Amino acid sequence: MMLLPRHFRNDSPLRKRWIMGASVGLVTGTLALSTLWQRGYTQSFTEQEISTYAAAVMAIEEIRPQAYADISDLMTIANEDVTRYDLRCLSASGLATLPRTVRSQVRRLLVNYCNDAKEIVEEAGLTAQLFNSNTVTQRQDEALTEQIQLEIAKL
């Protein structure tokens, strides 16, 4: 999962289409909040569930770029490439491999982001487990992904 470069405008059509791939979690060497549980399950979703999930994704997207930028800036100062590290919310292994000079600062930023994202998900009426499961499911179901993207476009 790639992260949105800082130069995209909030109202960019490309950003709205791309947002599903960007904001749903802290994943594989980049910031993307998901993967507490890596298995989705086959399920049909109501319009309300899709709307709730899309709203949570959008709210997380509002905080993700700043968290990524802050962590990336710290890593740049330490002459490190942020994309080389596994910085997911529940991946302690990624933090252990960080240089000591930035480890505690990155941990603080990552924990704050993850806690904020979890709070957003819960305020939307979802659990972290359900949000992550929905994330995995939408990655495997093109029709669901399209429904979610349409809902995001409405927001």
DSSP 3-state assignment of 1?
A: coil
DSSP 3-state assignment of 61?
A: helix
Decide: 100 and 92 in contact? Cβ < 8 Å. no
Q: CB 66: neighbour CB atoms within 10 A?
A: 12
- Torsion of the alpha carbons at 27, 111, 119 and 144, rounded to the nearest 10: 0
- The whole-number pLDDT of residue 45 equals 87
- Taking 70 as the pLDDT cut, the residues of the chain under it are 1-43, 92
- The whole-number pLDDT of residue 91 equals 73
- The whole-number pLDDT of residue 43 equals 62
Nearest-angstrom CA–CA distance, 148 and 154: 10
- The whole-number pLDDT of residue 94 equals 78
Decide: 33 and 117 in contact? Cβ < 8 Å. yes
